[in-house]
Amino acid sequence: MTDTGKSRFTRRQFCGNSAILGCLGALTGRLGAWAVDSPSAISTNGAGSLRAHAAARGLLYGTAVMPQLLDIDGFAAGKTADPYTQLIAKQANILVAETSMKWGPLRPTPDTFDFTQADRMMRFASLADQRVRGHNLCWHENVPGWLTATANKDNARQILTHHIEVVAAHFRGKLHSWDVVNEAIKPTDGLPDGLRKTIWFDLIGPDYLELAFRTAAAADPQAKLTYNDYGIELDTPAQSEKRAKVLVLLRRFKAKGVPIHAVGVQSHLDATGPQPGRGLREFIREAAKMDLEVYITEMDVNTHAVVGGPDAQDAAVAAVYLDYLRLVLAEPNVPIALTWGITSANSWLNKLHGSQSTRADGARERPLPFDDDLKPTSAFVALREAIDATHTVMTGVAKS
């Protein structure tokens, strides 16, 4: 089993603001307006990349990817001209599949597993010397139609354990970590302990979470097993309540000896409105007391309500990244931050439709460190500055 002892947590603290400010092209005020002169002219390659800056601080920076978009053969031959493939290789030292390891893509039928895209990503990560997170083994979304049509109280336990056994064994020894259970807390559903009403809760009962973790641990003893959730970042009443319920779950796991090593804070942030603060910091510290690492797993910043064009959006997004990463990376048990995609061209926020869709003016979101043309935005600089602002501490988890 992976060591989760306190010795792995090494102390990081932040440099003073002056160190950050000294590196900026232009600072136009705090939250809501943090801009850099000509970010697209900044060198992002080699020593200037996010992966190099993260590695220098003993951190992992990574991104969600869509393996379908990667020119893996070209990359393997050392001659890919595809800018997306090059960007992923240059900027990230850890990857996660945006959808390819979920039940939907992996399970076309009850009797078959399709690892095609997931395996392509594993091959690419190996070529690019990158770690990989698994996402996810148990969720209520993106489940195949055959599951909802055929699962019942008699067979659900067997279906869940079989899936986890096969999938976790397929990647055994190759993953940095697995999101074993995703998004299982939703206090407004009114169930005991704030559990979400899902297909798994309905058919197996509350023990499905523990079952999932124990099955994953047996199938892949090396991966760090993670509980991953969203809406636990802010100090609003709703998010504070949800965060408290997640802590209850984690404490129960630890009390019962359930194998868990980390909690994932998804970090889908909003450029306007309240921002993360003391509550999240305390949550991370409570996790540390349980010998749990905390992973920033799906970070992005939407600009639903930012008034103005691309420059205004970028300034607002960058300000949130800077403040957020300063907050969370100051905690020694936070060794990893991933963005949910790396370019706005591929962000899920630009694929939402209808009532979910985002800006009133119809403009595209710019939630990530690179834009639709794969040019760096102010968010790239903010990410890099926040990473640099951690004191150098090698935890032994990072690769260059």
Residues 234-263 touching ligand G3I, rule: CB under 6 A, are none
Cβ at position 284, least distance to ligand G3I in Å: 19
Q: Does 298 bind ligand G3I (CB under 6 A)?
A: yes
Q: Does 141 bind ligand G3I (CB under 6 A)?
A: yes
Of 127, 36, 32, 111, nearest to 79 (Cα)?
127
Residues annotated as catalytic (active site), given as ranges: 183, 298
Q: Which amino acid is at 229?
A: D
Q: Which is nearer to ligand G3I, 270 or 298 (CB)?
A: 298
Which one of 96-104, 122-130, 242-250, 367-375 is the stretch in contact with ligand G3I (CB under 6 A)? 96-104
Among 98, 270, 323, 385, binds ligand G3I (CB under 6 A): 98
- 94-116 core/surface letters (b: 16 or more CB in 10 A; e: else): bbbbbbbbbbebbbeeeeeeebe
According to DSSP, the residues that pair with 204 across neighbouring strands are none
Among 116, 126, 142, 400, binds ligand G3I (CB under 6 A): 142
Cβ at position 66, least distance to ligand G3I in Å: 7
C-alpha dist (Å) from residue 92 to 65, 118, 383: 10, 17, 12
Q: Does 357 bind ligand G3I (CB under 6 A)?
A: no
Which one of 94-102, 185-193, 243-251, 311-319 is the stretch in contact with ligand G3I (CB under 6 A)? 94-102
Among 102, 131, 243, 366, binds ligand G3I (CB under 6 A): 102
Q: Which amino acid is at 52?
A: A
Phi and psi of 90, rounded to 5°? -80, -35
Q: Does 348 bind ligand G3I (CB under 6 A)?
A: yes
Please give the Cα distance from 129 to 191 (Å, whole number): 43
According to DSSP, the residues that pair with 299 across neighbouring strands are 339
Q: Which is nearer to ligand G3I, 157 or 359 (CB)?
A: 359
Cβ at position 348, least distance to ligand G3I in Å: 3
C-alpha dist (Å) from residue 284 to 131, 176, 377, 392: 23, 20, 29, 20
Cβ at position 157, least distance to ligand G3I in Å: 24
Task: Specify burial of residue 284 (Cβ count, 10 A radius: 0-12, 13-18, 19+).
Answer: buried
Cβ neighbours of residue 381 under 8 Å, at least 6 residues apart? 24, 25, 36, 39, 42, 318
User: x-or-dash pattern for ligand G3I, window 164-183, by CB under 6 A?
Assistant: ------------------x-
Q: Which is nearer to ligand G3I, 73 or 141 (CB)?
A: 141
Interface with ligand G3I by CB under 6 A: which residues? 98-99, 102, 141-142, 182, 230, 266, 298, 348
